[in-house]
Structure 1
Amino acid sequence: MRILVSSEPDDEVGAGLLAQLPGVDVVRYDPTAAELTAEQRGADVLIPPYRGSHRPLGLLAQLPKLSYVQLLTAGADEWSGDVPADKILVNARGAVAGPVSEWILSAILTLYRQWPDLVRFQTTGTWAHRRVEADTLAGKRVLIVGAGAIGWAVARRLSAFDAETTLVASTARADVHGPDELPALLGEHDVVVLTLPLTPATTGLVDADFLAAMRDDAVLVNASRGGIVDTDALVSELKSERIRAALDVTDPEPLPQDHPLWTSPGVIISPHMSRTVPGTNELCYRVAAEQIRQHLDGQTPTNTVLERRAK
């Protein structure tokens, strides 16, 4: 099985891990190239690069033997609409649950403990004792929308802070609520965390009605995809100072310098980097290697997003 792995430095670790699989021939490629070589065109598997995974989309048409696309991200929205019907699309679900859940916890604590205000006081040399009203996570109710690996990792970490968590997913199951229960749950929670994939069903899910149903002074945390949130509706709510938000993703993205979201009150924004810590690329490639091993063994990879469909 010939596997295309990006030649960029972040993907070096992946080439080494995949080369250890029996029956695998790793071929490096430039994800910015317009044309593939004859050797590269004979690949069975394409792995988009660790950074900027959408860049090789245009190369799909040059891979006549391609049967499998292995992503290094949990989100598959950038590829799911372009992978042909007779190919398998597999993601790296679970690889970055640790780093992303840490970011979510840090974002909630940053807002609750009023770090943005404290840093502003620090820049002016102001000892702001009793001038900032901090809050605690203890006893807070946190609604996690998306009960995958990241959602459950967030729930586990929050339990250490004596917060109570509720999970919602696309399908109800033990200890997880279904989507029909979401509207009623919003007003019962202090924090709403988004860890769900971007799909046609979730695009614009967090609209004006969703935000209006959140309780006063609630916090919205988005670590999934910007398109899940109606940006104009969020800006309107933030300007009213009724809720606050922590965003690792936005719509549009990157966020233009003059966008009103930057200066909206009660918001902190990071540039889509919640998963990025030392060693994240190896975590992603280890999951990818396991998925490909399953495929080599004749199994359906556990992280399959799209299976082969009839053309």
Structure 2
Amino acid sequence: MSTPSILVTVPSDRLATDLGVMPDGVELQVWAMDSPAPAQRIDLVVPPYMSMSNMLSRLEGVEVGLVQSQSIGYDGVRDILPSGMRFANAASVHEASTAELAVGLVIAAQRGIPDFVRAQDQRRWMSHSAESLADRRVMLLGYGGVGKAIAARLKPFEVDLFAVASSARVEEGMPVRAVEELPELLGDTEIVVISLPGGDATRGIVDDAFLSALPDGALVVNVGRGPLIDTDALVAHTSRGRIRAALDVTDPEPLPEGHPLWEQPGVLIAPHVGGNSSAMRPRIARLVRSQIERLAAGDEPLNIVIDG
């Protein structure tokens, strides 16, 4: 029997099952990265989804061809990834689900759905007029894969939509303004939806000056990374009822019991579940299967964001 030329590890039996029969010459092993590596050479390693950062040290001393993340974000990975390894993110897996949640958070906050849920718990009929989504001026802060997916879902809601990114342009009909223009754009922006990546370049981009420039009652939605927002500044503005927020990510995260954000008026919190939907399972399997087939064919992998 010939020795397989490519070794692939995945963190769960479920993902292994979803991948199906391997191409000739490919061996698939389940390795949750909670034990020593099964071999000194692994061509493709898929770490666990939510605990990857705690597991990458297991790759020290192992020859690895490619680390395939199950997440889009990779801020901080370069600091903990063993030197010389290639790393691919999971672009194409989470954009749709994260965009769904972003739009859901906007609608929930605008139409007061959390108030209705609380009233239902009390068996109380509560009727009130709420803010619309239609006709609101909406800024997409970040126009990568997630930002574009959010735009596609927001357009039918009859909003005045524009994006802000690193450079000004018109992309597929969407007006994109440069981040340097933020001070002149915030004054008439009623909803900000943030999907920027994390890292030093974007840390605290939504600070006191940013929030102060928004009009009273503006809504800030964050489905990017928690440190994009200065939490102390957000608490100061939401505690006065001047700014509202809907957050799938926070800083710190998880948000500890007793943190003031839990009880701020007009703040809706989701526990970092943007990409964690039923769409993830088939999409991550499709991406990993594609990477395996590309490696087997000698082709360049997809989504390389750290190239050794």
Structure 2 counterpart of 1:95, one-letter code: V
TM-score of the superposition, structure 2-length normalised?
A: 0.89
User: Which residue number corresponds to residue 177 of structure 1?
Assistant: 177
8 A Cα contact 1:67 1:87, kept in partner = yes
TM-score of the superposition, structure 1-length normalised?
A: 0.89
Q: 86, 98, 119: which is aligned to 1:100?
A: 98
Matches within 5 A, 1:236-275: 236-275=236-275
Write the distance in 1 (CA, Å) between the matches of 2:188 and 2:298. Answer: 46
Q: Identify if the C-alpha distance between structure 1 residues 258 and 66 changes in structure 2 by more than 3 Å, giving closer, same or farther.
A: same
Secondary structure of 1:3's aligned partner: strand
User: Which residue number corresponds to residue 82 of structure 1?
Assistant: 80
Q: Identify if the C-alpha distance between structure 1 residues 292 and 305 changes in structure 2 by more than 3 Å, giving closer, same or farther.
A: farther
Write the distance in 2 (CA, Å) between the matches of 1:255 and 1:12. Answer: 33
Shift of 1:114: 0.7
8 A Cα contact 2:76 2:199, kept in partner = no
Deviation readout 1:157-176 (Å, 9 max, x if unpaired): 11111112111222333332
Shift of 1:53: 2.5
Structure 1 counterpart of 2:221, one-letter code: V
Matches within 5 A, 1:1-311: 1-7=6-12, 9=14, 11-13=15-17, 16-17=19-20, 19-21=21-23, 23-33=25-35, 35-37=36-38, 39=39, 41-63=40-62, 65-129=63-127, 132-175=128-171, 176-308=176-308
Shift of 1:296: 4.9
Write the distance in 2 (CA, Å) between the matches of 1:58 and 1:307. Answer: 18
Secondary structure of 2:140's aligned partner: strand
8 A Cα contact 1:72 1:288, kept in partner = no
Deviation readout 1:122-144 (Å, 9 max, x if unpaired): 23332223xx2312111111111
Q: Identify if the C-alpha distance between structure 1 residues 121 and 272 changes in structure 2 by more than 3 Å, giving closer, same or farther.
A: same
Shift of 1:249: 0.8
Identity, % of aligned pairs?
35
Structure 2 counterpart of 1:66, one-letter code: V
Stretches of structure 2 lacking an aligned partner (at least 5 in a row): 1-5
Q: Identify if the C-alpha distance between structure 1 residues 300 and 255 changes in structure 2 by more than 3 Å, giving closer, same or farther.
A: same
Bigger Cα displacement from structure 2, 245-254 vs 46-55: 46-55
Q: Identify if the C-alpha distance between structure 1 residues 179 and 24 changes in structure 2 by more than 3 Å, giving closer, same or farther.
A: farther
Stretches of structure 1 lacking an aligned partner (at least 5 in a row): none
Shift of 1:292: 4.7
Write the distance in 2 (CA, Å) between the matches of 1:218 and 1:279. Answer: 31
Shift of 1:57: 1.6
Aligned length: 299
Q: Identify if the C-alpha distance between structure 1 residues 171 and 93 changes in structure 2 by more than 3 Å, giving closer, same or farther.
A: farther
Secondary structure of 1:93's aligned partner: coil
8 A Cα contact 1:294 1:300, kept in partner = yes
> Cα RMSD between the aligned structures?
2.0
Whose strand fraction is larger, Structure 1's or Structure 2's? 2
8 A Cα contact 1:144 1:193, kept in partner = yes
Secondary structure of 1:183's aligned partner: helix
Structure 1 counterpart of 2:250, one-letter code: T
Write the distance in 2 (CA, Å) between the matches of 1:133 and 1:113. Answer: 8
Shift of 1:298: 4.8
Deviation readout 1:223-255 (Å, 9 max, x if unpaired): 111111111111111101111111111111111
Write the distance in 1 (CA, Å) between the matches of 2:216 and 2:169. Answer: 29
Write the distance in 1 (CA, Å) between the matches of 2:152 and 2:108. Answer: 19
